[in-house]
């Protein structure tokens, strides 16, 4: 059950005030003023001898409207300014009753109509409602009590009882309407909360979908599931031992100028897609697409046992698929479709670059640069590796053939180091 204190909700009080302000203007300008002035017609028939006098009293509502307008502009309390009209109606009704000498006149009935009308149309707060009713009925009751000569006290008691009943009815109506508005207010607030929660859920799901779409280009399904389940943290940049892979398509710039560009892009995209699928299938992260190549690395973010061997096997599979792909598009490519691959293992910093929301999961460090240089040094359709990496994949050396690269120039950025290079190919 709603109690009076329930109506003291700060937001509800504010909404009630705004509604009162809006409705009171409508009630005063479009109902009260026309009704008060139009009742002059009843004055003419009910008390013609007082018509002029009553009409002048009714015209006083016009300067009252001006005062109301000025006070509203000055942000004066709208409850008080509205009650000025209750006081005006109460006073001029008392004045008219004093002239007609009849408590059962239409003027007293008008008070009841004014009380009920304002109660139903205006969202008063409790205090100002009681003030309004007192201002409407008070002057007439005080006048009758003080100047009771000529009145039947049984009639006075009857009218007093009717007035008390009207006041009680006003309070009941006020409470019921207030309760309905409060229930509506609570319902709207609940709907707002639900809508906000839904908006948050939609925003979160949208962000997750965008994030998931970004991850799906880089990570294997296993890695994505672990990330989405919160079992794998990819938000921090960490130092890890990884096997970095660079795959490059030979003469791609020359072919771009030679071939139909749409056909060229279609063939490039098909190969990149095939190579990426092989890498992701082996839980190898595809860091970036370089236009005519791929950078990838194993053992981050998902830890992969013997990641050097995993990387080697994945690259051997890419070489096998290249042979099939070459047979398919050789005529359109107008030559053999050749690639170069470089792999090395070492420490690097992995994470999102340049930022979590706008970057890609990548790796930086000298080992990444070395893998890029090895790719540049690779023979066609071979994998170039260094001595250290070759030692790490020794357990699976029966799956490929190795040739030492002699008379190689110093690698850019690694001139001070003696790096022995080897070419790996399919058996």
What stretch of H or E contains 298?
strand 293-298
Q: Which residues contact 271 (CB under 8 A, 6 or more apart)?
A: 249, 322, 325, 337, 339
Residue 427: name the closest of 397, 405, 389, 406 by CA: 397
> How would DSSP label each residue in 30-42?
IIIHHHHHHTHHH
CB 61 within 8 A of CB 75: no
CA distances from 272 to 142, 291, 407 (A): 97, 9, 32
By the 8 A CB rule, do 83 and 135 touch?
A: yes
The per-residue pLDDT for 286 is: 93
Do 78 and 21 form a contact (C-beta atoms < 8 A)?
yes
Q: What is the pLDDT of residue 96?
A: 78
This prediction's pTM: 0.58
Rounded average pLDDT per 10-residue block, the chain, 427 residues: 60 88 86 80 76 85 90 89 89 78 61 78 85 85 64 63 80 86 88 86 70 78 84 88 96 89 92 94 90 91 94 96 94 94 96 75 93 93 95 94 76 81 92
Domain boundaries, the chain: 4-193, 237-426
Residue whose structure tokens are 């309905």 = 180
Cis peptide before 354 (omega within 30 of 0): yes
> Which pLDDT score is estimated for 220?
87
Quick: pLDDT tens for 108-166: 677 777 777 887 888 888 888 888 888 888 887 777 666 654 555 666 666 667 778 88
The predicted pLDDT at position 103 comes to: 47
Question: CATH fold of 237-426, please?
Answer: Alpha-Beta Plaits (3.30.70)
Q: How many whole angstroms separate alpha carbon 112 and alpha carbon 310?
A: 92
């Amino acid at each position: 059950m709603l109690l009076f204190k329930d109506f003291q909700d700060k937001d509800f009080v504010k909404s009630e005030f705004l509604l009162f302000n809006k409705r009171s203007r409508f009630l005063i300008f479009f109902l009260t003023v026309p009704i008060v002035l139009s009742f002059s017609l009843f004055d003419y028939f009910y008390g013609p001898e007082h018509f002029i006098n009553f009409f002048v009293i009714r015209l006083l509502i016009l300067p009252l409207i001006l005062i109301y307008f000025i006070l509203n502009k000055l942000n004066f309390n709208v409850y008080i300014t509205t009650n000025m009209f209750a006081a005006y109606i109460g006073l001029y009704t008392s004045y008219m009753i004093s002239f007609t000498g009849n408590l059962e006149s239409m003027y007293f009935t008008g008070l009841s109509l004014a009380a009920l009308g304002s109660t139903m149309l205006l969202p008063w707060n409790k205090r100002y409602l009681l003030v309004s009713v007192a201002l409407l009925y008070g002057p007439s009751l005080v006048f009758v009590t003080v100047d009771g000569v000529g009145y039947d006290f049984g009639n006075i008691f009857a009218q007093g009882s009717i007035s008390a009943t009207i006041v009680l009815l006003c309070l009941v109506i006020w409470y019921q309407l207030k309760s309905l508005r409060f229930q509506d207010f609570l319902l709207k607030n609940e709907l707002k909360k639900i809508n906000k929660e839904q908006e948050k859920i939609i925003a979160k799901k949208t962000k997750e979908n965008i994030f998931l779409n970004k991850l799906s280009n880089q990570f294997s399904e296993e890695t994505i599931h672990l990330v989405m389940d919160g079992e794998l943290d990819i938000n921090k940049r960490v130092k890890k031992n990884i096997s970095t892979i660079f795959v490059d398509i030979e003469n791609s710039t020359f072919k771009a100028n030679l071939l139909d560009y749409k056909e060229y892009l279609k063939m490039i995209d098909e190969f990149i897609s095939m190579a990426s699928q092989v890498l992701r299938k082996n839980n190898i992260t595809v860091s970036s697409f370089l236009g005519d190549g791929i950078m990838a690395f194993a053992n981050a973010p998902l830890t992969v046992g013997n990641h050097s061997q995993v990387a080697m096997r994945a690259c051997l599979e890419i070489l096998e698929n290249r042979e099939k792909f070459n047979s398919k598009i050789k005529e359109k490519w107008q030559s053999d479709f050749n690639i170069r691959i470089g792999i090395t293992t070492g420490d690097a910093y992995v994470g999102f670059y340049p930022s979590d929301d706008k970057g890609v999961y990548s790796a930086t460090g000298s080992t990444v640069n070395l893998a890029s240089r090895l790719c540049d040094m690779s023979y066609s359709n071979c994998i170039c590796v260094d001595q250290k990496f070759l030692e790490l994949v020794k357990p699976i050396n029966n799956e490929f053939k190795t040739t030492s690269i002699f008379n190689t120039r110093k690698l850019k950025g690694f001139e001070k180091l003696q790096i022995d290079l080897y070419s790996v190919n399919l058996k």
